[in-house]
Amino acid sequence: MGHHCCSKHKVKRGLWSPEEDEKLFNYITVHGHACWSTVPREAGLQRCGKSCRLRWMNYLKPDLKRGSFSVEEERVIIDVHRILGNRWAQIAKHLPGRTDNEVKNFWNSCIKKKLIAQGLDPKTHNLMPASRLSAAAAGNNSDELFQSSTTTTVPFTISSLNRGFDRAKGFDKMAIPPALMAPPQSNVALHESTVPAAALSDLHCQDSHVLMSFANASSSSPSLGPMNYAAASSSSFINDQTGNFMDDCVWDGGDMEQHFESLNHIEVVGDDEVVQRKDEVVQVQTCTLGNEKQGLMMEAYCGFDLEMMDSSLLPCGDFYSGGGGGGGSMEQLQWHC
């Protein structure tokens, strides 16, 4: 078949020869690539412009880093993928010298398997239910597995009327958006506080509106980092008067404002503070529930790429909902919070 852009010409396909590489490299080095469609003709190549562009971007470009991925790069990929999903080009931007194709291949051939081995769903980065784990272990089709897991999990839904909430316990099963569960060293984490890590393991909260799942991957997943998330005080998310989950959660925060303002049910007011923690300047975001500021805190670490967050939150909604059934945008996540 071939690209429509080159269907009119007789073009060569398949692997590039060293001679072709040299022609393309020399041409681009001298003339640049203002218009890829003219490059093959002017460079004397029997290729289509698309193919030339791909070859240049993925192989010939001088600043490309070759060789295997470092542990740090792997970590970045996992962290960013947790937030962006399969947006390889965006992920690659966080890895100088790496191409989207390279990142994608590395993910599919290596990281994905590692996550599965750790019992994590590579799509959601959440723990897979035991049933699916055993299916994975049995060698079932992993894609079906992921499909199944994403259609049954709604990881970021909080609503009111948590009739079963046990106030004495102080917390119950909260859904923390995976996008906000990134490891402290790179992205955003909830402030670790009074809730013991063990208590957060495999939490589930159900009420008439919502199933919230909270998977504690801290112990099993080095890639996710230790205790990536923690609930804040017991009153977080809970209306003091009723003990119910709040319908309208307000995120306070300066920089975060622009990144949440597109979400229908999130209102952002500015008021954040900057504190020093170890060597990092940490911006503390306080979540306000209803009219009162509650104890939920977020830390936007200094290295966090807010642009990335900006570009990712909405798609993440679709991503996490698996695209099936509910339409899956953040709007539907009832993050009335």
Partner DNA sequence: AACTCAGGCAACCGCGGGTAT
Partner DNA sequence: GATACCCGCGGTTGCCTGAGT
Binding site for DNA (CB under 7 A): 1-3, 5, 13-16, 34-37, 49-51, 53-55, 58-59, 68, 86-90, 100-102, 104-106, 108-110, 113
Looking from the CA of 37 toward its CB, the CA atoms found within 13 Å total 7
Instruction: State the minimum distance, in angstroms, from the CB of residue 290 to DNA.
Output: 37
Instruction: State the minimum distance, in angstroms, from the CB of residue 133 to DNA.
Output: 18
Looking from the CA of 100 toward its CB, the CA atoms found within 13 Å total 12
Measured from the CB atom, is 16 or 171 closer to DNA? Answer: 16
Please answer whether residues 160 and 336 qualify as being in contact, where contact means their C-beta atoms are separated by less than 8 angstroms.
Answer: yes
Instruction: State the minimum distance, in angstroms, from the CB of residue 204 to DNA.
Output: 29
The C-alpha torsion from 108 through 87 and 82 to 94, rounded to 10°, is 100
Instruction: State the minimum distance, in angstroms, from the CB of residue 159 to DNA.
Output: 30
Measured from the CB atom, is 26 or 108 closer to DNA? Answer: 108
Single out the residue of 53, 66, 64 nearest to residue 24, CA to CA. Answer: 53
Instruction: State the minimum distance, in angstroms, from the CB of residue 110 to DNA.
Output: 5
Instruction: State the minimum distance, in angstroms, from the CB of residue 46 to DNA.
Output: 10
Instruction: State the minimum distance, in angstroms, from the CB of residue 144 to DNA.
Output: 12
Measured from the CB atom, is 49 or 253 closer to DNA? Answer: 49
Measured from the CB atom, is 113 or 204 closer to DNA? Answer: 113
* Paired tokens of 169: 């316990």
Measured from the CB atom, is 15 or 168 closer to DNA? Answer: 15
* Parallel, antiparallel or unpaired: strands 249-252 and 267-269: parallel
Measured from the CB atom, is 38 or 208 closer to DNA? Answer: 38
Measured from the CB atom, is 154 or 308 closer to DNA? Answer: 308
Single out the residue of 257, 276, 272, 249 nearest to residue 335, CA to CA. Answer: 249
Measured from the CB atom, is 37 or 219 closer to DNA? Answer: 37
Single out the residue of 201, 200, 291 nearest to residue 239, CA to CA. Answer: 291
Instruction: State the minimum distance, in angstroms, from the CB of residue 270 to DNA.
Output: 29
